[in-house]
Amino acid sequence: MKGWNLEFGSWNFKKTARLVILVIYFLSTLSLSVGTSFFNSPDENANFVFAEQFANKQTFKINDSINLELAGIVNPRSSIALADSIVPISFLGLPFIAGLIGSVFGSNTMLWITPLLALLSI
């Protein structure tokens, strides 16, 4: 026995303990959002909508015919109205990656990308 490195065949106590601590940390940080809205800002919500649009239709453009009548003044923050469509004007990296993952694994998996990336950054 050398410190924490208890090895029994291929099982390593230190690696298992790290994994358990990361899972507990992940679940504890997710528990902070229980009972609240999933998105904290309009930008997060817009990024999710554009990612979902990309996952389902492989385009970021969202058709909104009311913008033709209102001269393009209806659009959320971090997006712009062009003719009868709303398009993103912010960084497209996260909606693109989330949309790719959402197109493969389903739209609900897109909600877990940011928490998982935060966990992996530790």
Instruction: For 22-48, write each residue's pLDDT tens digit.
Output: 889 888 877 776 666 677 778 888 888
Residues 28 and 70 placed together within one structural domain of the fold: no
Residues 42 and 99 placed together within one structural domain of the fold: yes
- Per the structure, the complete domain to which residue 83 belongs is given by 38-121
Quick one: pLDDT at residue 1? 47
Q: How long a stretch of residues is the chain?
A: 122
Quick one: pLDDT at residue 8? 56
Residues 95 and 45 placed together within one structural domain of the fold: yes
Residues 96 and 52 placed together within one structural domain of the fold: yes
Residues 67 and 18 placed together within one structural domain of the fold: no
Residues 65 and 17 placed together within one structural domain of the fold: no
Instruction: For 74-85, write each residue's pLDDT tens digit.
Output: 777 888 888 788
Residues 78 and 29 placed together within one structural domain of the fold: no
Report the domain count for the chain: 2
Query: What integer is the mean pLDDT of 48-72?
Result: 87
Residues 75 and 103 placed together within one structural domain of the fold: yes
Query: What integer is the mean pLDDT of 112-121?
Result: 75
d(CA 93, CA 98): 8
Residues 46 and 32 placed together within one structural domain of the fold: no
Residues 14 and 4 placed together within one structural domain of the fold: yes
Quick one: pLDDT at residue 100? 92
Name the helix (H) or strand (E) containing 88: strand 85-88
Residues 42 and 75 placed together within one structural domain of the fold: yes
Percent of the chain at pLDDT exceeding 90: 16
Quick one: pLDDT at residue 51? 92
Q: How many H helices and E strands in the chain? A: 5, 5
Residues 82 and 57 placed together within one structural domain of the fold: yes
